[in-house]
């Protein structure tokens, strides 16, 4: 496996629905023996796709194949029921696969549920020694790390109290501290940090990053908090109904996950009915134009871009004394990162052309996918307002001239270096 920490081949997991057996002991024994030998279940139905769910069973995982390198920080995302927890349980040896294999290089420390691996009647300190023993560590080695674990958990005043009296937050603090400090090669965390407070979550994410970059440990992290996943992980997996959809860089995984079912307004916009305003002006299309006058959807950080916005108007609009067009740029978390407006320019603007340009000499946005909200206001009120206009992809580039395509922290800057063109 060389530098491969986890190698998964044709991995599938089937669960029985409703009942826990076939109704006959002899059949159950035959099924168990066949699966232990890596053979097909002799009582499985034929004549249809074997991964189709039926009234009797469903497939939590379907034919998963992937390799995870040592030191990778892997974010595993997907909807509830996608198979994320099942995959981690198989890797943690809590449950066995129905088909396929999962080869693991090294010791695994898992945090799958709050309190997993703890004995309720034992104190926090006793559970630290218990977990260390499960990982095969000697008592002397655990004692050497005891102070670090207790200090990181922040529950030193309760360390000699039975854990059955702990709150869920104290439980997860101690469980994470134990898993992060004891000798393991792979750390698995399944949504457990959601129980902790904001301070501990930040502390835990920093620790997992240190374990990976400093100690070379492999981290598998499941969370519905996309911000935490993006900040921690360098690669990711997207699961959907038991199938592996994408295995790629974490930014691409998150963008696909958040936008694949998103109702992004297509271009042109003239037929869109979900909009507000009195209709005196209506947006019809938006284009992203590069310096060579090509229409594109993908730009590099720091590149020149011109946003051309088309609209129509009626005779009511022609008599308006004031008017402004606003454009808000939103990231994948629906947070507005910057805003452009004709109101910045004091001169009266001529709207008779039916289009307007926002030219940005340097597009100061971090890598990701962005959408736009368009609004027009005049002295009669709101003329038009439409959300999720278009989709713009930004990729990293050597913005600071370092010779490398490095990640930047530019997201959220106000784009002040732009001009308005009306010809």
- State how far the Cα of 306 lies from the Cα of 330, in Å rounded to an integer: 17
Start and end residues for every CATH 3.40.50.300 domain found in the chain = 4-259
**C-alpha to C-alpha distances, 317 to 49, 139, 378, nearest whole angstrom:** 60, 81, 8
Helix ranges, 250-377 (H):
250-259, 315-318
Q: So what's the pLDDT on residue 256?
A: 79
pLDDT along the chain (423 residues), means of 10: 85 73 65 70 58 71 91 90 90 87 88 73 90 82 90 89 87 83 84 72 83 85 83 89 88 76 59 85 90 88 88 79 85 83 66 82 82 88 88 73 48 50 56
Residues in the chain: 423
pTM of full prediction above 0.85:
no
Q: So what's the pLDDT on residue 410?
A: 40
Q: So what's the pLDDT on residue 48?
A: 47
The domain covering 4-259 belongs, at the CATH homologous superfamily level, to P-loop containing nucleotide triphosphate hydrolases (3.40.50.300)
Instruction: Tell me the fold of 281-421.
Output: Coagulation Factor XIII; Chain A, domain 1 (2.70.50)
Q: So what's the pLDDT on residue 333?
A: 76
Helix ranges, 37-167 (H):
84-91, 124-134, 139-153
Query: Which of 329, 422, 418, 318 minimizes the C-alpha distance to 378?
Result: 318
Would the CA dihedral through 275, 290, 246, 408 be positive or negative?
negative
Start and end residues for every CATH 2.70.50.60 domain found in the chain = 281-421
Q: So what's the pLDDT on residue 57?
A: 75
């Amino acid at each position: 496996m060389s530098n491969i920490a986890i190698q998964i081949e044709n991995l599938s997991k089937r669960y029985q629905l409703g009942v826990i057996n076939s109704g006959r002991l002899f059949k159950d024994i035959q099924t168990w023996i066949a699966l232990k030998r890596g053979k097909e279940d002799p009582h499985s139905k034929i004549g249809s796709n074997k991964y189709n769910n039926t009234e009797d069973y469903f497939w939590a995982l379907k034919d998963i194949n992937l390799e995870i390198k040592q030191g990778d920080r892997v974010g595993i995302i997907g909807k509830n029921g996608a198979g994320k927890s099942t995959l981690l349980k198989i890797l943690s040896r809590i449950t066995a696969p129905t088909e396929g294999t999962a080869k693991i290089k090294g010791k695994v420390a898992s945090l799958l549920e709050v309190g997993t691996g703890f004995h309720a009647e034992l104190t926090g300190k006793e559970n630290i020694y218990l977990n260390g023993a499960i990982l095969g560590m000697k008592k002397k080695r655990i004692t050497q790390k005891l102070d670090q674990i207790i200090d990181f958990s922040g529950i030193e005043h309760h360390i000699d109290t039975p854990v059955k009296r702990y709150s869920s937050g104290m439980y997860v603090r101690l469980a994470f501290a134990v898993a992060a400090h004891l000798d393991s090669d792979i750390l698995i965390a399944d949504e457990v940090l959601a129980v902790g407070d904001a301070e501990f979550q930040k502390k835990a994410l920093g620790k997992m990053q240190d374990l990976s970059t400093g100690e070379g440990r492999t981290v598998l992290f499941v969370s519905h908090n996309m911000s935490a996943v993006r900040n921690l992980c360098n690669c990711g997996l997207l699961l959907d109904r038991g199938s592996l959809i994408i295995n790629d860089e974490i930014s691409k995984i998150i963008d696909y996950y958040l936008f694949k079912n998103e109702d992004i307004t297509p271009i042109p916009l003239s037929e869109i009915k979900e909009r507000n305003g009195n209709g005196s002006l209506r947006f019809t299309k938006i284009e992203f134009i590069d310096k060579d006058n090509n229409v594109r959807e993908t730009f590099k950080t720091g590149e020149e871009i011109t946003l051309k916005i088309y609209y129509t108007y009626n005779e009511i609009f022609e008599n308006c004394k004031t008017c402004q067009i606003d454009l808000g740029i939103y990231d994948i978390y629906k947070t507005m990162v910057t805003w452009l407006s004709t109101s910045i320019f004091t001169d009266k603007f001529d709207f008779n052309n039916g289009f307007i340009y926002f030219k940005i000499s340097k597009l100061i946005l971090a890598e990701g996918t962005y959408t736009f909200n368009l609004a027009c206001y005049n002295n009669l009120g709101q003329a038009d307002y439409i959300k999720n206009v278009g989709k713009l992809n930004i990729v990293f580039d050597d913005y600071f001239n370092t010779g490398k395509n490095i990640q930047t922290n530019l997201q959220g800057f106000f784009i002040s270096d732009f001009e308005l063109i009306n010809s």
